[in-house]
Amino acid sequence: MKISKKATTIAVINQKGGTGKTTTCENLGVGLAMEGKKVLLVDADPQGSLTVSMGWQDPDALPTTLSTLMQKAMNDQCIPPGEGILHHAEGVDLIPANIELAGLEVALVNTMSREKVMKQVLESAKREYDYILIDCTPSLGMLTVNALAAADSALIPVQAQYLSAKGLEQLLQTVQKVRRQINPKLKIEGILLTMTDSRTIYGQQISNLIRQAYGKHLKVFDQTIPRSVRAAETSTTGKSIFQYDPKGKVAEAYHSIAKGVLADAEKRLKRQFEQLR
């Protein structure tokens, strides 16, 4: 019994800005590529932060972006394989985004099957890659719903500076709604605590609070992403943390998260396989 190869699609999501979504998307992607996986990153934020942080400094000048491809899907035009995909030196591919995506989000509202346009765009890529990671915009609007409709799971980076629990509640409700109405297969990959500072008592307290509040029902990654000046600098270099500061604690943390995501995927495949037998 051969399970056909299909990429695992993970939406990296939090409606609050500044939680480390883009950093996580890029470094988890490169971390998975270092483990021998074929990875496609998708910038689904009109600000184009992922595109810029991967070295394309002027996203508005790019001829083909996610909004071009989604527009084509909305008009039932054929998207040639590989169209608009940029190749990064560290072995990951990228579908970039720019400000045009903001206009597209407005146009989506009047489209048939409006929640599934991104899914349509990524359909052919699912056969070419092992992992597709979507960097979501910091809102719970139509683009984020599209990302969740296209995803197998949602990974939620949460900044461990103060308890953004209210925001997290709202986000989990959105995930549940998408699961009920659009994508019954959607799972939560886990909550990833970012910008943690274990040296302060406050930092430890917040980590513990989030684990107590959500750990019973959801996976909260044991590995946290420490706050680091070097990690903050990478967004202007076009390099991942693995290139910029390979021996640092952030690179080590993302390496560990990538391994954890792979291990979880293996477990899921095994379970699927056993159910088929």
Q: Which of 66, 184, 56 is nearest to 125 (CA)?
A: 66
Domain presence at residue 182? yes
Model's pTM, two decimal places? 0.93
User: Residue 8 belongs to what H/E stretch?
Assistant: strand 8-12
Q: Which of 219, 217, 115 is nearest to 174 (CA)?
A: 115
Q: How confident is the model at residue 2 (pLDDT cuts 50, 70, 90)?
A: very low
Return the bridge partners of 155, or none. Answer: 12, 190
Yes or no: say if 79 and 73 are a contact pair by the CB < 8 Å rule.
Answer: yes
Which pLDDT score is estimated for 5?
Answer: 66
Domain presence at residue 199? yes
Domain around 55: 8-276
Domain presence at residue 45? yes
Torsion of CA 143, 148, 152, 154, to 10 degrees: 100
Yes or no: say if 24 and 225 are a contact pair by the CB < 8 Å rule.
Answer: yes
Q: CA separation (Å) from 37 to 33, 34, 78, 85, 258?
A: 5, 7, 27, 17, 11
Domain presence at residue 2? no
How far apart, in whole angstroms, are the C-alpha atoms of residue 70 and residue 84?
11
38 φψ region: left (φ > 0), alpha (ψ -120 to 50), beta (else): beta
Residue 115: CB atoms within 10 A of its CB come to 18
Domain presence at residue 81? yes
Is residue 266 scored above 90 in pLDDT? no
Q: Which of 16-25, 33-42, 147-156, 255-264 has the lowest mean pLDDT?
A: 16-25
Domain presence at residue 3? no
Yes or no: say if 147 and 9 are a contact pair by the CB < 8 Å rule.
Answer: no
Q: Can you give the CATH number for the domain in which 116 is found?
A: 3.40.50.300
Query: Number of structural domains, the chain?
Result: 1
Give the count of alpha carbons within 13 A of 172, CB side only. Answer: 16
Is residue 233 scored above 90 in pLDDT? no
195 φψ region: left (φ > 0), alpha (ψ -120 to 50), beta (else): left
Query: Mean pLDDT in the chain?
Result: 89
Residue 110: what residue type?
N
Domain presence at residue 183? yes
Q: What is the pLDDT of residues 22-73, one digit of tens each?
A: 999 999 999 999 999 999 999 999 999 999 999 999 999 999 999 999 999 9
Q: What is the pLDDT of residues 67-126, one digit of tens each?
A: 999 999 999 999 988 999 999 999 999 999 999 999 998 888 888 889 999 999 999 889
Domain presence at residue 202? yes
What's the average model confidence in pLDDT over 240-257?
92
Which pLDDT score is estimated for 161?
Answer: 65
Higher pLDDT, 215 or 118: 118
Is residue 248 scored above 50 in pLDDT? yes
